[in-house]
Amino acid sequence: MNDALLDWYAANRRDLPWRRTTDPYAILVSEVMQAWLDRWSTAASLARAPVADVLSEWVGLGYNRRALRLREACEVVAKHGWPDDLTELPGVGPYTAAALGAFAFGRDTVALDTNVRRVFRRLGCELSPRAGEGPLFNQAAIELGALVCRARAPRCDACPLEPECAWDGDPEVQRRPAVRFEDTDRWVRGRVVAALAAGDALPAVEAERLERALQGLVRDGLVQRDGKSVRLG
C-alpha cells in the first residue's frame, strides 16, 4: 500500500511553502505565519523578542498561549540546540514532534494529524513508512486525507488505497452541536489581546466575562495588570 500511496502523491501533491525546506524552525511555524518568519527568521531571533511583540504578531492566529510556548521553545533551542526528543521543547506534543522529526530531520515517524487518523481509521489499519520514507510518506498521507479521504464527501473513486480499504461508507460519529465561538471565554481572551496589541480599549463585554478572561490571561502570562492598567506580556 505504501507504493500506491506514494505514487498517488507524486502525481497529485500541492506545492506548499513548508515542503520546500528542512529547516526545523521554518517547518514549525511556516504553515500559518509567513509574516512571522519574515520578522523572526531564526529560533534565536524569536528567543530574543519581547513577549509583547510576540503576542502582537500572533493576533488572529489562534490560541495566544501557543505564541509563548513557541518563544520558550526557541529559547531552549537558542541555548542548547534541537533536542533528540523534540517533546522536551515547550508546547511540542507528540504530533508536532513527529512532524518535525520527519520533515526536518528525515526520521521515519508518523505524524498523526486529524487527516491521517481518519485515513487509517477508514482503512482499517495503520501504515508506517519504510526506511528512509518518513518525509515523503507523511506528506502523502496528510495530502490524501486533505484532498481525497475527506471528512465529508470522500472521493473514494480517486483513492489509491480504495482496493484495500475496509470502510463501508457508514456515517461516522456525529459531532455534538457546536457552541457559538462568540459565547466562549476564548473569544473574549482573543479580543482582549487584539485590543491591547492595537492600543484600543478593552472589548465591551459583560463585566464578569471580561474579568474571567483577564484573570486567565494574567495566569497564563499573556498580560500584566497594575491596578486598572492592563498590558501585554
Catalytically active residues are 31
Task: Give SS3 for 149.
Answer: coil
Rounded to whole angstroms, the Cα distance separating 31 from 172 reads: 29
Q: What share of the chain is helix, strand, coil (3-state, %, to 5)?
A: 55, 5, 40
Say if CB 51 and CB 68 are below 8 A apart: yes
Buried/exposed 170-186: b ≥16 CB within 10 Å, e otherwise: eeeeeeeeeeeeeeeee
Distance, in Å, from the CA atom of 122 to the CA atom of 165, rounded to the nearest integer, reads 7
Question: For residues 70 and 45, is the Cβ–Cβ distance under 8 A?
Answer: no
Query: Which amino acid appears at position 232 of this protein?
Result: L
Separation CA 127–CA 125 (nearest Å): 7
C-beta pairs of 32-35 under 8 Å, 24+ apart in sequence: 32/61, 32/62, 33/57, 33/61
Query: Residue 70: what are its φ and ψ, rounded to 5°?
Result: -65, -45
Grid cell listed for 231: 498590558
Q: In Å, how far from its chain's centre is CA 229?
A: 32
How far apart are the C-alpha atoms of 227 and 98, rounded to whole Å?
A: 44
